[in-house]
Structure 1
Amino acid sequence: MGYQKLTEIRWGIIGVGNVCEVKSAPAMNLIPHSRMEAVMRRDEKKAQDYAARHGVSKWYSDAQQLIDDPGVNAIYIATPPNVHLEMTKLAAKAGKPVYVEKPMARNHTECLEMIATCEKAGVPLFVAYYRRRLPHFVKIKELLDNGVIGEIRTVHINLKQSLKNDLIANSETNWRVLPEIAGGGYFFDLASHQLDLLDFFFGPIAAASGFCSNQAGVYPAEDIVMGSFAFENGILGSGNWCFTTEENSSIDEIKIYGSAGEIRFETFGQGEFDLRKTNGKWEEFRFDLPKHIQQPLIQSIVEVLRGEGKCPSTGESGARANWVMDQLTSNRIA
């Protein structure tokens, strides 16, 4: 069974947790020709509660039942990464397009299997790297493409976060730091956004290498990663990610250096970035972000499914972020 162009997109959502409260799912009811048709969560009471609060008429505690619902014609997988592959296979078998949360899977191998599964079934696959459609990042790409800071030389990622007491207390149940569920730790959760964003700006990364370690020993996953990478077009970059720094020492910064200027911004900030041209002053750009942060990307998916547009975040592009993360964490230092 293959995918056919849709007139109305009726979403079935698997795993209506925190990300579905504001960031993503509510936008599906605001976009023309799109609505939440049904939701699923293993906890029956939580599924019913979500459906009641968000005005969804149908809810399930079994993913297969939601996928088989004839009223559902597109699937949003909002679960932790460990079941992304399994749920994608079920949705693709039913001939229904797939929108999956990031990171796309626990590793690049799983990503490739997801892509192959959807290609065989003839259904499109999208990944929730929504920063590709946020206005300030779209503007940065426009400036880069127009050569405002000249030829791009290098890019540097610096992300530091302190170790929170609540994380220490809940390290055994926080899936984001359990590799068997998340693929790794907060690096996989947060750096995936950054590496995908750089892919959006400059194209694929062709080579990457790095080191990782678990310095604090609070949870099983790596808590520090350092590495370097090279894009297909010759731009070089580096990254330093640490999630156990001292309190009040958080840093979220990406710097892009060109032959005629510099751009710097926060990945997880408020829609702002700074631009400096050669021998010039810093210029600040500010953009309003949507309440439902995934809405612009979901809008593009709806347009694709209706045969009207193009989505910038596909299974192919999403898998590249996983490949780079696999390379950067391939050398673990005890």
Structure 2
Amino acid sequence: MDGRAQTQSTALAFPALGFVGDRNAAIRLGREASELAAFQDEPAQMASAAIGKNGFLRLGFERRGPRTILAELDRRIPALAQRTLYPEQALPDLAWLFMITTTGCLLQGDRMALEIGLGPQARAHITTQSATKVHSMDANYAAQTQQIALAEDAYLELLPEPLIPHRRARFISETRIQLADSATLLYAEILQPGRKHHHPDECFGATLLSLATTATRPDGRLLFSEKLVIEPERQALRQTGVMDGFDVFGNLMLLTPPAVADRVDARIGAAVDQVGGLAFGACRLPNDAGLIIKVLARETEQVKAKLHEYWAIVREEATGTALSPPFFWR
């Protein structure tokens, strides 16, 4: 591969969904973030954002007849997307897609930009092939931007595998969401403390994690904005009000019409089980945007199991169909 973008089609009009095809968004993000001011030095190896370190993936889905298809694909290495699958008999129009990073991890100087757009009535499930590992760094940082746009009655499940920041990792991520009033987005983030079984210093050993999410309507109305800046060396995470005795953090955002949010909210609860090592709860997002659900646990599988439970509830209430049993490959 020579690093040039690979384009399949231009059938979906991304500008109508608020996109401009910004392949350099992740480069600007890190330069403009105040929390990264101390990490602007260049690596001694390959320069930041060089070929192979400046990935871009653009996915455009359209409803065509009885199915949702991937109508537009534009990419630049190391970003890659597999072909769409249709594995669910109960929801045959739902397109499944796995995103892949050919390098297998994020290194210092990496910049990754993702754009996802769904046209009217399109339905998709997008995930990653494995956890996103952010390796140790002695210079610079890794940055990721995500832009998500959903048109009327679109439905998207964006459920990536966990983020694993290694010791001395520096990572910034910004997610911008634009969706119509009738659209539904289920978006999950799972943050592990690091490779806690690898070395004692790996658990909460990252230098900096900055995770921001903003959602708007197509006319620009702000729905909500959330930003987490985690600096374990400056503020201990083992304290009440932060992580306490838990290790893994799950963040599930459901952006959906109020009627769907009401039904989902009525089926989920809240609890703190110190013995079992699990705590969870939900609250309403402002401006009738939907719900946000937080899960804390000692192990990743506990968080995944709870988020899977919520995923099943959302699927039923938003689409009227039950979630399929887990596939052997997922």
TM-score, scaled to structure 1: 0.29
The structure with the largest alpha-carbon Rg is 1
Q: By percentage of residues, which structure has more helix?
A: 1
Between 1 and 2, higher relative CO (CA 8 Å, sep ≥ 6) is seen in: 1
Q: By percentage of residues, which structure has more strand?
A: 2
